[in-house]
Amino acid sequence: MSDYNFAYLDEQTKRMIRRAILKGLAIPGYQVPFASREMPMPYGWGTGGVQVSAATLTPDDTFKVIDQGADDTTNAVSIRKFFERTANVATTEETDKADVIQTRHRIPEAVLREDQILVYQVPIPEPLRFLEPRETETRKMHALEEYGLMHVKLYEDISQHGAISTSYAYPVKVEGRYVMDPSPIPKFDNPKMDMPAIQLFGAGREQRIYAVPPYTKIVSLDFEDYPFEASKADHACDLCAAKDSYLDEVILDDQGNRMFVCSDTDYCRSRRAAGHVGRLGTKNQLEASA
């Protein structure tokens, strides 16, 4: 791949993306239009995140990619390989060792540090999109801070279902100004967004970048009498016994038996390495799975 520039994109393009990122950081939660490039992977498969990562990575960085919380999901493998080939950067599966983490649908369980950057892949950056399909309208609504429609939607949820029926991509208000789509992370992850690391969001097909600077106040939209609730499966991890992590439900057989395991594979691995054992785990499971 030596025919391509470092991290695939040419330097002018990376500069253009960095400008959009800086603008995004200066106006937290505001969706900055950028001239998204065609990437060698399909739209909807992380082209926004890949462009943001390409503009963010330096040759000395260590890069981690997760999808659904896991490093070994197919698309995470594909994106990690892409940067190994085009940027020749070191990669890791350990959250702690990564400088830049690209993610789809999850925030790692471990608290990120100030010197880390979390890059989200975003399919639909506009939190109001499914309430108002027109970009011309939604831009106006953001400019005028006209978010009544969103509250009406949440209210209608409650009147219909007795609860807010949004379980992922749960809208947040950023530093008291912009309503933002946190990307399709489960709402369990929303409270983690108030974090020391920089959070960058890239939507390639929709040509938008937005950002949340460190320690920005992120509030999940709710009502006083129906407060936001970060929920997860009511179990402990069957491998590492963690009670505080988001869990995947794995079907074991056709008899209805299931197991619950950490969605964050690195978190689960490090807990097991530290000797935590869940309901279905074994002491020597690390060697067994290696």
Partner 1 sequence: MYVAVKGGERAIDNAHAWLAEERRGDTTIPEMSVGQIREQMALAVNRVMAEGSLYDPDLAALAIKQSRGDLIEAVFLMRAYRTTLPRFGYSEAIETAEMACDRRISATFKDAPGGQVLGPTFDYTHRLLDFKLAADGEVSEAATATPRQEATPHITTFLKGEDIIQDEPQSDAVPGDLTREPMSYPAGRALRLQALARGDEGFTLGLAYSTQRGYGRNHAFVGELRIGKVAVEMEIPELGFAIEIGEVELTECETVNQFTGSKTEPPQFTRGYGLIFGQSERKAISMALVDRALRWEELGEDNLGAIAQDEEFVLSHSDNIQATGFLEHIKLPHYVDFQAELELVRKLRAEAEANLAASEPAQEAAE
Token pair in block for residue 268: 């689960």
Binding window for partner 1 (CB under 8 A); candidates: 52-60, 142-150, 204-212, 214-222: 204-212
Answer yes or no whether residue 18 interacts with partner 1 by CB under 8 A. no
Pick 81 or 113: Cβ nearer partner 1: 81
- Residue 107's nearest CA partner among 8, 196, 24, 19 is 196
CB-wise, 60 or 98, nearer to partner 1? 98
- 3-class DSSP state of 23: helix
Site mask, partner 1, residues 25-64, x = CB under 8 A? --------xxxxxxxx-xxxx-x-----------------
- What is the closest distance, in whole angstroms, from the C-beta atom of residue 158 to partner 1 in the complex? 12
Q: How far is the CB of 272 from partner 1 (least distance, A)?
A: 10
Site residues (CB under 8 A) for partner 1, limited to 139-158: none
User: Exposed e or buried b for every residue in 89-99, given b needs 16+ CB within 10 A?
Assistant: bbbbbebeebb
For 127, the token pair is 């939190």
Q: Residue 249, interface with partner 1 (CB under 8 A)?
A: yes
Block residue for tokens 């690390």: 286
Sheet containing 208-212: give its strands across. 32-33, 208-212, 198-203, 117-121, 100-104, 62-67, 90-91
d(CA 122, CA 51): 12
**In whole angstroms, what is the distance from residue 223 CA to residue 107 CA?**
25
What residues are labeled active site? Answer: 29, 237, 240, 262, 268
Considering only residues 57, 63, 99, 104, which one is a binding residue for partner 1 as defined by CB under 8 A?
104
Binding positions for partner 1, rule: CB under 8 A: 4-5, 8, 10, 33-40, 42-45, 47, 67-69, 72-78, 81, 104-106, 123, 134-136, 161-163, 165, 167-169, 184-188, 205, 207-208, 231-233, 238-239, 246-250, 252, 259, 261, 263, 280, 285, 289
